[in-house]
Amino acid sequence: MRKEYSQTIKIYEELGKKYVDDTYKVSPAELPGFINLLKPNSKVLDVGCAGGRDSRYFVKAGHEVIGIDIVDSFLKEARKRVPKAKFVKMDLLKIYFPHAYFDAVWAQAVLLHFSKSDLPKILNKFHKILKPGGILHVRLKRGQGTHLIEEQLIGNKQRLFTFYYKKEVEEAFKKAGFRIIAARLLPDELKRKDVKWVSIWGRKN
């Protein structure tokens, strides 16, 4: 799994600005509703921020944003495009922030590159860095198993994806100490007919 994870990072590094440009114009359907849940001047962590596409919306809404990613070429683009946010290179499995530091964590289509055994560890880390009552967004691809998937979006190269059903993500949230506040199945904004999404929001108990 670590080998495939490294290969996925390498692909993103090579794609760099092109991938950011190709996905930048697509706004996740959940963003407006999630932003409406935030208190003024919230501290938001954008996990797997890529080129800062989603960070810019949080900044525009008046929030303090830290974006993290492991891909240097993405972070370079994010710093240029969203100068009012802070962007840091960080491995999600080695995340380091103070306890109860953030009001919200936004993890859009990033945990799907990790194994299912990693999910509980990552959710527990999110729980620790969120303030009491803080909210978490996670979006994952719907399905079963872990597969290398070839896509036109990345020049027909293969990325590693782990797929989930809504119920298993909800259970993982609950075990990590979150109360489910929204759970949805969503179509793909890029109009890929073979892609369906699981979107879960939780609030720290």
Residue 48's domain comprises 2-204
Q: Give pLDDT, residue 53.
A: 96
Residue 166 has pLDDT above 90, yes or no: yes
- pLDDT tens per residue, range 112-142: 989 999 999 999 999 999 999 999 999 999 9
Helices (H), 63-117: 72-81
Q: Given the DSSP bridges, would you call strands 64-69 and 43-47 parallel, antiparallel or unpaired?
A: parallel
Q: Count of CB atoms within 10 A of residue 53's CB? A: 23
Tell me the longest C-alpha to C-alpha distance in the chain.
43
- Is pLDDT of 15 > 90? no
pLDDT at 2 over 70: no
Query: 59 near 103, Cβ under 8 Å?
Result: no
C-alpha closest to that of 107 among 167, 54, 29: 54
Please determine, for residue 58, whether its predicted confidence score (pLDDT) is greater than 80: yes
Residue 76 has pLDDT above 90, yes or no: yes
H runs (alpha helix) in the chain = 2-15, 17-24, 31-37, 55-60, 72-81, 118-129, 166-175
Model pLDDT, residue 105: 98
DSSP characters over 158-199: EEEEE-B-HHHHHHHHHHTTEEEEEEEEEE-TT--TT-EEEE
Positive or negative CA dihedral for 35, 37, 41, 47?
negative
Predicted local confidence at residue 156, as pLDDT: 60
Give the chain's mean pLDDT. 91
Q: What is the CATH number of the domain that holds 126?
A: 3.40.50.150
Q: Where are the beta strands (DSSP E) in 33-145?
A: 43-47, 64-69, 86-89, 102-108, 130-141
Rounded-to-integer distance, Cα 199 and Cα 183, Å? 6
The band of 154, judged by pLDDT with boundaries at 50, 70 and 90, is low
Q: How many distinct structural domains can be found in the chain?
A: 1
